[in-house]
Amino acid sequence: MCGIVGYVGNKQAYPILIKGLQRLEYRGYDSAGIAILNGVLNVYKRKGKVSELESFVKSKDVDGRIGIAHTRWATHGEPTDENAHPHSSQSKDLSIIHNGIIENYDVLRNELINRGYEFHSDTDTEVLIYLIEDIKKNEKVDLGEAIRIALNQVVGAYAIVVISKDEPDRLIAAKKGSPLVIGIGDDDFYIASDATPIVEYTKNVVYLDDEEVAYIQKGEKLKIKTIKNKDKTPYVTKLEMNLSQLEKGGFEHFMLKEIYEQPRSIRDSLRGRLNADKGIVSLGGIIDYEQKMVNANRIIIIACGTSWHAGLVGEYLFEDLARTPVEVEYASEFRYRNPVIYEDDIVIAISQSGETADTLAAIELAKSKGATIIGICNVVGSSIARATDAGSYTHAGPEIGVASTKAFTAQVTILCLMALRIAQLKGTLSKSRFRQILYELESIPEKVEKTLQVSKKVIEISEQYQNVRNFLYLGRGYNFPVALEGALKLKEISYIHAEGYPAAEMKHGPIALIDEEMPVVFIAPNRGIYEKVISNIQEVKARKGKVIAIVTEGDESVRKLADHVIEIPETEELLVPLLATIPLQKLSYHIAVMRGCNVDQPRNLAKSVTVE
Ligand code: F6R
């Protein structure tokens, strides 16, 4: 949450910073601000989106070749002009941008108030910049040293960049728990929460590690120290993403673009990892840990939100194919509930962003108990990817829309490959069955392409139900997580209340909600316990509920009962989630657009949840 950008070099900083903020707006968008140095340190900030900041600074002085900028997702203090970043020190000589939470800010704030400081915002960040200035003044150290000393007093998470009126060529950055990347140009430096604002200018980047401080001086080599004052050698890596991946490519919204990218993203997730003709499934990233996975008595999957739904599909896959018991845990619960973790446990952590604070903390907990951690991440070089013992990237490409779409199907694809590989090694599937699934998995991108053609039907349904207040999503077996995911997609972008349930659980409570106003989405392919799902549909119809059913092409039984059917191609039961999710993503997208919602940036949400 919160996006931070910094620049120092020979170019004008403002266009680089504003463009960077636009790229990072998915991380938070309730206020934005910028500080540019050109003799004077000009700080401009505004409640609202980056576009409001742009209008605000139109007639202002934004000249300068060094600056910092921030887009905020509020934690401490409401979204107001005062609480927007950058925050300035008492003397106004220093300014800071911060992503994270200073947990002991209250103690530090009271100490500073006792020493005569006056605060102007409700944020924890202002405390940090006051503390830095106080140390600089009283301990007579330079800015870099003051920051290093201050960070030793801070409890919590931070990615910060500090600019000083007295240092026209230098920025200082540091991180713990929140991400920070430094791009190294020919004669300039770019700093950001992720690589998206940087890729346009340079592919050479350094990912800071926790408790590292970077001294970024124009015309000099990047210097890094830990907050304990140990020198570190910057490790430069090459970015793989390209600029076109970060643009809308003719689509009205990133979310729609990302929905349509799924044939490609699933293909990329499978590329080089699956060969049905030769009967090969191979995930290079976990090869050294395969035997541990084979020997594990259980797998624990940890994740949040949509990634947790993918984890639930993973539970069905591992138990079904590899016969390994699986527990799926919300990372936020797992980390605080004193779970039993054994040294031979395999923990699979799933995260699109690779930065989710709860997932990271759950990983650290499991690591401390000796478990082996396997990651499934989308963002290369992210904190979670680096915290795991091994793992597989999803290769879905940057996901910009706040609602996760292509990342989910890519995660399910990887889980499927992992479960198949472990099943192969354990010998829990016959050779012919194994091959059969491999061939079917290979054909999935093409079937996703076909599934994407359901637009007309989905738009008709969206028109009819765009104004309802509630939705119910029901599915069984592999399609229960799909129901959860469908409901989450609808509520997060259209603000319609929606619940996902296992279809048979309906009669234990939610059935009371059903009347002629209530649309019920059934995921009802002709696989698994199909007849039982038909009975559940009948129960809804008997109470005059409106049934929207996702069915297998050519299905006649459900068609007779349902008010609307959306067809998906025939496939293996275990692969249905990869297809059935697509029309549900489109349904939520079209309903949200019809309701005039901001699809790519829904209210109160952020793409990367780096606070717990
Ligand atoms: C929903 C959504 C969130 C994320 C969750 C975990 O569309 O995007 O529920 O899935 O915040 O994020 P990652 O996968 O980045 O750990």
Residue 611 located in a structural domain: no
- Residue-level pLDDT at 177: 85
DSSP 9-30: SSS-HHHHHHHHHHHHGGG--S
- The CATH number linked to 488 is 3.40.50.10490
122 residue type, one letter: D
- The C-alpha atoms of residue 250 and residue 298 are separated, in whole angstroms, by 46
Q: Quick check: 6 and 191 in contact, CB under 8 A?
A: yes
CA of residue 402 to ligand 1 center, whole Å: 8
Cα–Cα distance, 510 to 428 (Å, whole number): 38
Rounded Cα gap, residues 462 and 559, in angstroms: 18
Alpha-carbon torsion angle 72, 73, 76, 81, nearest 10: 40
In a domain, 612, yes or no: no
**Average pLDDT for residues 328-333, to the nearest whole number?**
96
Q: Which residue in this structure is represented by tokens 């991180």? A: 175
Confidence label for 530 from pLDDT (cuts 50, 70 and 90)? confident
Please report where in the chains the tokens 């079904």 appear, as a residue: 320
| Whole-number pLDDT of residue 380 | 85
In a domain, 282, yes or no: yes
Which phi-psi region, left, alpha or beta, contains residue 121 (left: φ > 0; alpha: ψ -120 to 50)? Answer: beta
3-state SS assignment for residue 122: coil
- Select from 230, 245, 260 the last residue of a domain: 245
User: How many domains does the structure of the chain reveal?
Assistant: 3
Segment 561-580 mean pLDDT: 96
The amino acid present at 241, given as its one-letter code, is M
Nearest to 488 by CA among 304, 299, 248: 304
CA distance readout (Å), 293 to 213, 344, 394, 423: 37, 9, 19, 10
| Contact 610 CB / ligand 1 (< 6 Å) | no
Does the residue 447 lie in any domain?
A: no
Residues 140 and 223 both lie in one domain: yes
Q: Any idea which residue has 């068609």 for tokens?
A: 559
Q: Which amino acid is at 564?
A: H
Any atom of ligand 1 within 6 Å of the Cβ of 382: no
Residues 107 and 87 occupy one common structural domain: yes
Which residue among 1, 302, 306 has the greatest number of ligand 1 atoms within 8 angstroms of its CB, and so is best to mutate? 306
Provide the domain limits for residue 404.
248-442
Q: Which residues contact 144 (CB under 8 A, 6 or more apart)?
A: 172, 213, 215
Q: How far is the CA of 228 from the centre of ligand 1 (A)?
A: 34
Interval between CA 12 and ligand 1 midpoint (Å) = 35
Cβ-based neighbours of 309, under 8 Å, separated by 6 or more:
408, 481, 482, 484, 485, 488
Residues 133 and 254 in one domain: no
Q: What CATH number is attached to the domain comprising 224?
A: 3.60.20.10
- 297 shares its domain with 391: yes
Q: Is 83 in the pocket of ligand 1 (CB under 6 A)?
A: no
Nearest by Cα to 120 from 92, 159, 156, 139 = 92
Half-sphere exposure of 496 (CA within 13 A, CB side): 31
- The residue with tokens 């430069």 is 236
Residue with CA closest to ligand 1 atom 8: 404
Q: Last residue of some domain: 210, 245, 280? A: 245
CA distances from 52 to 22, 84, 99 (A): 12, 13, 20
Ligand 1 touching residue 353 (CB < 6 A): yes
pLDDT score, position 317: 98
CA nearest ligand 1 atom 11, residue: 305
What is the pLDDT, as a whole number, of residue 381?
84
Give residue 578 CA to ligand 1 midpoint distance, Å: 17
Do 258 and 228 lie in one domain? The reply is: no
Q: Which two tokens stand for residue 559?
A: 């068609």
Residue 297 lies in a domain: yes
* DSSP one-letter code for 231: E
Q: How confident is the model at residue 382 (pLDDT cuts 50, 70, 90)?
A: confident
Q: What is the mean pLDDT of the chain?
A: 94
- Per-residue pLDDT at 572: 96
pLDDT over 90 (residue 547): yes
Residue 489 and residue 428 in one domain: no
Asked whether residue 238 falls in the same domain as residue 341, the answer is no
Q: Are residues 71 and 144 in the same domain?
A: yes
- Our answer on whether the CB atom of 356 is closer than 6 Å to any ligand 1 atom is yes
Reply yes or no on whether the pLDDT at 223 is more than 90.
yes
Among 363, 404, 599, residue to substitute to test ligand 1 (most atoms within 8 Å of Cβ): 404
Which 3 state secondary structure label does DSSP give 227?
Answer: coil
Residue 196 and residue 278 in one domain: no
CB distance 584 to 153 below 8 Å: no
Averaged pLDDT, 155-182 = 95
Q: How many CB atoms lie within 10 A of CB 70?
A: 32
d(Cα 352, Cα 331) in Å, to the nearest integer?
14
For 178-209, what is each residue's pLDDT tens digit? 889 999 999 999 999 999 999 999 999 999 99
DSSP states along 31-95: EEEEEEEESEEEEEEEES-HHHHHHHHTTS----SEEEEEEE--SSS-S-TTTSSPEE-TTSSEE
Same domain assignment for residues 239 and 255? no
Confirm if 174 and 227 have CB atoms less than 8 A apart. yes
Q: Tell me if 98 is assigned to some domain.
A: yes
Give the distance (Å) from ligand 1 centre to CA of residue 306: 5
pLDDT at 410: 98
pLDDT at 611 over 80: no
Compute the Cα dihedral for 561, 564, 570, 576 and give only its sign. negative
Pocket test for ligand 1, best of 400, 609, 612 (most atoms within 8 A of CB): 609
> What is residue 515's DSSP assignment?
S
* Neighbouring-strand partners of residue 66: 8
The tokens describing 49, both together, are 């989106």
Q: Is residue 418 part of a domain?
A: yes
Domain final residue pick, 196, 214, 245: 245
Amino acid at 349: A
Residue 255 lies in a domain: yes
Are 263 and 297 within one domain? yes
pLDDT at 606 over 80: no
The pLDDT value recorded for residue 370 is 96
Verify that 391 and 494 share a domain, yes or no: no
pLDDT digits (tens, 9 = 90+) for 126-151: 999 999 999 999 999 999 999 999 99
Average pLDDT over residues 572-581: 97
Q: Which pLDDT does position 250 carry in this prediction?
A: 83
Query: From ligand 1's centre to the CA of 354, what distance in Å?
Result: 10
Residue 276 CA to residue 280 CA, distance in Å, equals: 6
pLDDT at 137 (0 to 100): 94
Q: What is the largest distance, in Å, between two alpha-carbon atoms of the chain?
A: 81
CA 407 to ligand 1: nearest atom: 14
List residues with catalytic annotation. 2, 607
Higher-confidence residue: 81 or 581? 581
Assign 249 a pLDDT band (cuts: 50, 70, 90): confident
